[in-house]
């Protein structure tokens, strides 16, 4: 059967490209071997944020005493949260099914493989299209060189846990590792975080990661400079054996990165270039080296974030079918949030990146740190820290880095400002909202 667009993968990128293309009248097919919605909806952003919310609620209950409330914390039901979380996600996936059908988009469930550059096969049936979009995402990585690695689970498996582990070890230093370790601590588990180096989130600006490390050391058991040598089943749990010794826990979660789902879709039958690690390189229009074959999302080796895949997908469909020639997604100044406790928000360059691009003498940094009004009344006050990185004589803001309560809801508007080329003077000329933490960003000196 012939289509205008075939998307491999019904995650954020795949659904978004066929949704937008169909709105322009294109005949579209999306193929998915798993559950519609992909990683984000089923085992990523959505369930993670629900778990983060639960941990935040627990924190709020503990903080209530500082405001004069006599609150008795009587425990937490993992089963109740899981049931409600799973029901919420099932509602989203069911809605997707009806929505895709309502748009006239064909949906095929199964494993897709390329037969040639423009032909896809699923369960013996072949489909062709002028434009094929590869948006197959990734999967959690489990090490192959650690004895007993199979005793650990992945971040995907974490959301299937029927009971709350009393003791948990998370191995990794990225945002997934940090988020799980801290939210589990917030929900009452003894939480251990193992990382290979002396800090976490090494691609982020040191200003915020240093603050996060201080907070981690007050909450979870942080094991830095740790090389995991083996996992071993013992009578009372799983032993995590590292160069620093052994610690027993109930559950071990591998959060050491993700492998790309490009190794099992028949790319060897095409002319598509695949780089080390399964990355599919594209031009600025998301097109691979094969005309009419495109790649979106994690597999491009760029920002592995849901909103990025969605934005790139919609722009691709706009260009191909909406008459918007030249439309594409620039990959500069993309904001991101780490749902740590408290969160990290960042947009633009780190200080190191800015100095590398503009020169050390052209860069100036403005910083502030304080305890917010809300946090000042709590039993365990949390610091807020902010950093602006500016470049050149006109002090164009090229980086904003935030750490603290509510920065996740604070950053979006400042991301718009950075994208528009705002200067430090523009920030200074903006009247502050008082009393808020956000006002510090427009009153720095």
The per-residue pLDDT for range 154-180, each reduced to its tens digit, is 999 999 999 999 999 999 999 999 999
- Quick check: 224 pLDDT over 90? yes
Residue 70 has pLDDT above 90, yes or no: yes
**CATH number for the domain harbouring residue 424:** 3.30.390.30
| Same domain flag for 74 and 10 | yes
Instruction: State residue 73's pLDDT score.
Output: 84
Whether residue 346 is found in the same domain as residue 226: no
More confident residue, 412 or 73: 412
Banded pLDDT at 333 (limits 50, 70, 90): very high
Peptide bond into 435 cis (omega under 30): yes
Contact between 126 and 115 (Cβ < 8 Å): yes
Any domain includes 88: yes
Tell me the residue range of the domain where 438 lies.
336-442
User: Domain for residue 144, yes or no?
Assistant: no
62 included as an active-site residue: no
Clarify whether residues 60 and 115 are in a common domain: yes
Residue 38's pLDDT band, with cuts at 50, 70 and 90, is: very high
Per residue in 244-297, pLDDT (tens digit) is: 999 999 999 999 999 999 999 999 999 999 999 999 999 999 999 999 999 999
Mean pLDDT of the chain: 98
pLDDT in tens, 398-435: 999 999 999 999 999 999 999 999 999 999 999 999 99
104 belongs to a structural domain: yes
Query: How many C-alpha atoms does 421 have within 13 Å on its Cβ side?
Result: 2
* Domain co-membership, 84 together with 38: yes
**In terms of domains, do 29 and 167 share one?**
no
At 413 the pLDDT is 97
* pLDDT of 75 above 90: no
Q: Do both 278 and 396 map to the same domain?
A: no
Query: pTM for this structure?
Result: 0.96
Give the per-residue pLDDT at 172.
Answer: 98
Each residue of 88-108: pLDDT tens digit?
999 999 999 999 999 999 999
Strands 396-403 and 344-348: antiparallel
Catalytic residue among 185, 192, 244, 434: 434
Report d(CA 383, CA 376) in Å as an integer: 9
- Same domain assignment for residues 170 and 270: no
**Residue 330 is assigned to a structural domain of this protein:** no
Number of domains into which the chain is organized: 3
Do 135 and 272 sit in the same domain of this protein?
yes
Question: Which CATH number does the domain housing residue 209 bear?
Answer: 3.50.50.60
Q: Are 321 and 315 in contact (CB under 8 A)?
A: no
Kindly tell me if the per-residue pLDDT of 44 is higher than 90: yes
163 assigned to some structural domain: yes
Same domain, residue pair 134 and 263: yes
Angle between helix axes 175-186 and 206-219 (nearest 10 degrees) is: 30
Same domain (yes/no): 296, 223 = no
134/19 same-domain check: yes
Q: Do the domain assignments include residue 327?
A: no
**Is 331 within the bounds of a domain?**
no
pLDDT for residue 257: 97
pLDDT at 74 over 90: no
Least Cα distance to 52 among 305, 408, 383 occurs for 408
Among 256, 283, 312, residue at a domain's last position: 256
User: What is the average pLDDT across 174-187?
Assistant: 98
Residues 75 and 197 in one domain: no
Mean pLDDT within 133-142: 98
């Amino acid at each position: 059967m012939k289509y205008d667009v075939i998307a491999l993968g019904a995650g954020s990128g795949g659904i978004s490209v066929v949704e937008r293309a169909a709105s322009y009248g294109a005949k579209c097919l999306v193929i998915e071997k798993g559950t519609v919605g992909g990683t984000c909806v089923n085992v990523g952003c959505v369930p993670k944020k629900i778990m983060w919310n639960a941990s935040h609620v627990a924190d709020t209950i503990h903080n209530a005493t500082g405001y004069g409330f006599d609150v008795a914390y009587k425990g937490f039901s993992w089963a109740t949260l899981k049931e409600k979380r799973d029901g919420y996600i099932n509602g989203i996936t069911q809605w997707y099914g009806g929505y895709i059908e309502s748009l006239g988009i064909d949906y095929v469930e199964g494993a897709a493989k390329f037969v040639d550059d423009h032909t896809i096969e699923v369960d013996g049936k072949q489909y062709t299209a002028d434009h094929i979009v590869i948006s197959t995402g990734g999967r959690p990585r489990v090490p192959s060189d650690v004895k007993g690695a199979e005793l650990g689970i992945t971040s995907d498996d974490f959301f299937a846990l029927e009971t709350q582990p009393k003791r948990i070890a998370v191995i990794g230093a990225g945002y997934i590792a940090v988020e799980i370790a801290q939210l589990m601590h917030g929900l009452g588990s003894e939480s251990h975080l193992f990382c290979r180096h002396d800090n976490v989130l090494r691609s982020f600006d040191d200003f915020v990661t240093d603050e996060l490390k201080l907070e981690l050391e007050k909450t979870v058991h942080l094991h830095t400079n740790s090389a995991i040598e083996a996992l071993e089943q013992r009578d009372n749990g799983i032993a995590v054996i590292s160069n620093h010794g052994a610690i027993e826990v109930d559950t071990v979660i591998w959060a050491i990165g993700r492998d790309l789902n490009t190794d099992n879709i028949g790319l060897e039958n095409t002319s598509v270039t695949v780089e080390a690690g399964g990355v599919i390189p594209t031009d600025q229009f998301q097109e691979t080296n094969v005309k009419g074959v495109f790649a979106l999302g994690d597999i491009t080796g760029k920002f592995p974030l849901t909103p990025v895949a969605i934005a790139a997908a919609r722009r691709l469909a706009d260009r191909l079918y909406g008459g918007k020639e030249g439309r594409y997604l620039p990959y500069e100044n993309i904001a991101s949030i780490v749902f740590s406790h408290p969160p990290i928000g960042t947009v633009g360059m780190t200080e190191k990146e800015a100095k590398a691009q503009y020169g050390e003498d052209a860069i100036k940094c403005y910083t502030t740190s304080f305890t917010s009004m809300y946090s000042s009344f709590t039993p365990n006050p949390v610091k807020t820290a902010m950093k602006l990185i500016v470049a050149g004589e006109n002090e164009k803001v090229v980086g904003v880095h935030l750490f603290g309560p509510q920065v996740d809801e604070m950053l979006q508007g400042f991301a718009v400002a950075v994208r528009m080329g705002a200067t430090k003077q523009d920030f200074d000329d903006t009247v502050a909202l008082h009393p808020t933490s956000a006002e510090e960003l427009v009153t720095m000196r």
